[in-house]
A and B are shown apart, each in its own frame.
Chain A
Amino acid sequence: MSTVAILTTGVANVASVAAAFHRLGTEPVTAETPEAVERADRLVVPGVGAFGAAMDRLHGLGLVAPLRKRIEAGRPTLAICLGMQILFESSEESPGCEGLGVASGVVGAFPGGVRSPHFGWNRVHPRPGPGTIEPGHYYFANSFRVAHHPAGWDAAWCEHGGAFLAAVTRGGVLACQFHPELSGTLGQSLIGEWLARSDQW
């Protein structure tokens, strides 16, 4: 069985992500070099922290080009929370900082008048199609979100001060704004399905 590598470029809740894979019977390894990102059969990009700081670290470690390449190619990659946001061109969180730009558009703040951070379980509405995400409640912890549909990606939606992207998929890439590793049995099944499906890519 092919391996799972977790990108560990900074402090994130890597332990929670690793524990989710343990429960699925997989022992993930860590990846922090361009070679490891290129080599990984399956790569997890967890993310907490700020957009700009995350991109700075990726640049510093020479990971921007290899990440772009594997995502463009649709190789099995699971991007979580901030890991999803950095796929886009930029974010209002860190003006002037470029993201990976493999998905079009800008990550924005929630509108005024709703609680932010958006903390907790919220309902996800998938669009029917291949790689469908099971509808139901998933756990979110985000202050920024994407409110448009990036061309070329399948999308699932959520609602908090207007509709925003809960997840996007393309090829073997699954990018979630929510935390599948913290979303109970639904999240656990989603990770399990990504693992199983990623054998096809």
Chain B
Amino acid sequence: MVTKRVIPCLDVAEGRVVKGVRFTSLRDCGDPAALAEEYMNSGADELVMLDVSATDEGRATALETVAAIRERLAIPLTVGGGVRSVSDAERLLEAGADKVSVNSAAVADPAILTEIADRLGRQCAVVAIDARKCHDGWTVLVRSGKDDARRDAVAFAVQAVEAGAGEVLLTSWDRDGTGEGYDLDLLRAVSRAVHVPVIASGGAKDARHMAEAFLAGADAVLAASIFHDREARVWDIKDELAGFGVTVRL
């Protein structure tokens, strides 16, 4: 059976790894390629790199960062941040990404997922959904959490998968960087609604949070802070997960 995946996430701005709380207050966490290799060697199943650059120059360096990571990385790499067209996606693949995640552009028009799936394959098309709790469910945020798209996150996940997304990267804005654990209700709702793998993101502090996410239906868990801060190595987390009865690659 396919194992549950543990995926460190590199938020990259201007060629450096950064991490914030609720998408802001960014602080420097190191060189992307060096961290990527370290995570691979310590048991990461896959990596996600999100370009959170604030400037055009920063975004231009993202392709170089992808290429530098690729030369060292023998596990899958998903890259997202600012992907607006199929040609953006193609450039990332040419630079060394294996999958491309689309956020705001997919909310504006899910057809971009269809185009990526048709041209590059469904397994390349990841929809990244930033969801924020509201009175009757979750709303979709866009532009790095700055704007409320006023769309129901679960309904949008279904629409994105119908359009062509082969995977859902589901981030809880409320939990991001807080260490309070994943939003399990959100995870349950989305993983029941779609047939493609769901990656839980936002809020993990330890292996227990990850085990909870797997129980709630996640196929993979994403975490940044706990790995960047060297609070835990990926192997240690996976050992603990195995202890909780989760099937992982050891």
Contact = CB atoms under 8 A, between A and B. Distances in A.
Contacts of B2: 115, 118-122, 140, 160
B65 to A, nearest CB: 13
A62 interface: no
A141 B195 contact: no
A119 B40 CA distance: 18
Given A23-B74, A137-B249, A141-B123, A115 B94 contact: no
A183 B75 CA distance: 6
B34 to A, nearest CB: 16
A49 interface: yes
A122 B1 contact: yes
B3 A182 contact: no
A82 B121 CA distance: 10
Contacts of B123: 48, 117, 119, 141-143
Contact of B96 (A16, A23, A119): A16
Nearest to A115: B197
B71 interface: yes
Contacts of A119: 2, 123, 166-167, 197, 219-220
B73 interface: yes
A49 B120 contact: yes
Q: How large is the interface on A (under 10, 10 to 19, 20 to 34, 35 or more residues)?
A: 35 or more
B5 interface: yes
A8 B127 CA distance: 27
B76 interface: yes
A11 B97 CA distance: 12
Contacts of B3: 120-122, 137
Interface of A: 11-16, 19-20, 22-23, 48-50, 53, 82, 115-123, 137, 139-143, 159-160, 179, 181-185, 187-188
13 contacts: A12-B93, A13-B98, A14-B94, A15-B70, A15-B93, A19-B71, A22-B71, A120-B46, A121-B2, A122-B2, A140-B2, A142-B123, A160-B1
Given A82-B121, A121-B2, A142-B123, 11 more contacts: A14-B94, A15-B67, A16-B77, A23-B71, A117-B166, A117-B197, A119-B2, A139-B46, A179-B98, A184-B74, A184-B75
